[in-house]
Amino acid sequence: QDVASMTSDAPAYATIGPCPDIPPKLVGPLRVEFDYHRSLDKVREEVAEPLQNGGRFKPTECVAQKVAVIIPFRNRHEHLKHWLYYLHPILLRQQVDYGIYVINQFGEGVFNRAKLMNAGYFEALKEYDYDCFVFSDVDLVPTDDRNLYRCFSNPRHLAVAMDKFGYRLPYNTYFGGVSSFSREQFLRINGFPNTYWGWGGEDDDIYKRVTFRGMSVSRPDLVIGRYKMVRHKRDLHNEPNPKNPDKLHMTHWTMDKDGINSLKYTVKEIVKEKMFTFITVDIQAPA
C-alpha cells in the first residue's frame, strides 16, 4: 500500500466514478398530455417516492452534476403540477444530483421573470454547492428525455422546438423558455438583468450578455429539443412592456452594473414540499 491510500478517508471500494455522458436509462421521445384531472396529490403519489424533501434527488451509482432547477413563478399552480409530473421522472433518468426551486413573486406588482431567476440562483446556492443552474418556465415540458438538464461548455438553450412556434426557433437568437448556465458562465455575464419589468426583452438581453462575454450558445437539435407548452391566457400584471425592447440597445453598457451584483430582494417565506422548494420573494415590484 502506498502512503496516499493509507491516509485516504474513504476505502477504495466505496469510490464511485462520474456519471456517464449519456445516461443509460433514457427512453427518447415521450408522450406528453396535460390531463386537467391530474391532482397534485396524485402526482406526488406517482413520482415523489425517490425524492428527498424539497424536491431533491442524488444518484447513488455515480457522481452527477449538481443542478439547481429554478422556476420563475406566480399563480401558475396548475402548470406546476404538470411540470412536476413529467420532469421528476425525466431528471431521475438523466442522473442528476438536483433540486427544484420554485421562486414565487410576492404581491401583485409587475412580474419580473429575470429578477426572479437571479434570486433563485442565490437561494439555491444557500442550500447546496450547485455547479449548474437550469432556468425553466413553469409551462414548458420537454417531450424527449435526451434533452439533458445539465451544463455544457457554453451556456445552453434547451427549448429550441416548442409546439407553439411550430417546433422550431421563432428567430435565430431566441433564448427563451429553458436554459442552463454553469456557475462560472452565469457569473461571467453578471447573471440576468433585474430591470425588465413586465413581459418581453429579458431573454434577448441574456442572449446578448452571453455573446458579449465571448461565449456561444449550445443547443440540442430540433428533434431532441422539442417542448409542449401548457396553453394559457396572458397573465395579469405581466403586460408587454414597450420600454423593454429599447433597453436592448444598452445591454453592452448596462450589463456590468445590472445583474447579480446589483440584485436586491427579500425572502418572505420558504416552504419545503416533497416535490419542490417554494420560495416567496419580495423583489420590490412597481405597482
Q: What is the CA radius of gyration of the chain?
A: 19
Q: In which residue are the cell numbers 446556492 written?
A: 125
Residue 113 makes contact with ligand UDH by CB under 6 A: yes
Q: How far apart are CA 219 and CA 153, in angstroms?
A: 11
Nearest alpha-carbon partner for 32 in 274, 226, 175: 226
Which of 95, 147, 190, 238 touches ligand UDH by CB under 6 A? 238
Q: How far apart are CA 186 and CA 87, in angstroms?
A: 23
The catalytically annotated residue of 131, 229, 237, 273 is 229
Q: Judged by CB, which is closer to ligand UDH: 23, or 198?
A: 198
Q: How far apart are CA 205 and CA 197, in angstroms?
A: 13
Nearest alpha-carbon partner for 69 in 94, 28, 112, 101: 101
Residue 83 makes contact with ligand UDH by CB under 6 A: no
- Rounded to the nearest 10 degrees, how much is the dihedral formed by the CA atoms of 228, 233, 238, 241? 90
Which of 23, 54, 55, 72 touches ligand UDH by CB under 6 A? 72
Specify whether 256 is catalytic: no
Which of 98, 101, 106, 111 touches ligand UDH by CB under 6 A? 111
Residue 235 makes contact with ligand UDH by CB under 6 A: yes
Residue 144 makes contact with ligand UDH by CB under 6 A: no
Specify whether 46 is catalytic: no
The catalytically annotated residue of 77, 168, 232, 249 is 232
Q: Minimal distance in Å, beta carbon 203 to ligand UDH?
A: 9
CA distances from 135 to 17, 80, 175, 283 (A): 27, 14, 11, 18
Size, binding site for ligand UDH by CB under 6 A: 16
Specify whether 203 is catalytic: yes
Specify whether 232 is catalytic: yes
Which of 138, 160, 217, 279 touches ligand UDH by CB under 6 A? 138
Q: Judged by CB, which is closer to ligand UDH: 139, or 205?
A: 139
Q: How far apart are CA 259 and CA 189, in angstroms?
A: 8
Specify whether 199 is catalytic: yes
Q: Judged by CB, which is closer to ligand UDH: 64, or 90?
A: 90
Specify whether 258 is catalytic: no
- Contact range with ligand UDH by CB under 6 A, out of 144-152, 212-220, 227-235, 243-251: 227-235
Question: What is the side-by-side strand order in the sheet with 226-229?
Answer: 140-142, 226-229, 161-162
Residue 197 makes contact with ligand UDH by CB under 6 A: no
| Residues ≥6 apart with Cβ < 8 Å to 107 | 282, 285
Active-site annotation, residues:
137, 139, 199, 202-203, 229, 232, 234
Q: Which residues bind ligand UDH (CB under 6 A)?
A: 71-76, 111, 113, 137-139, 199, 233-235, 238
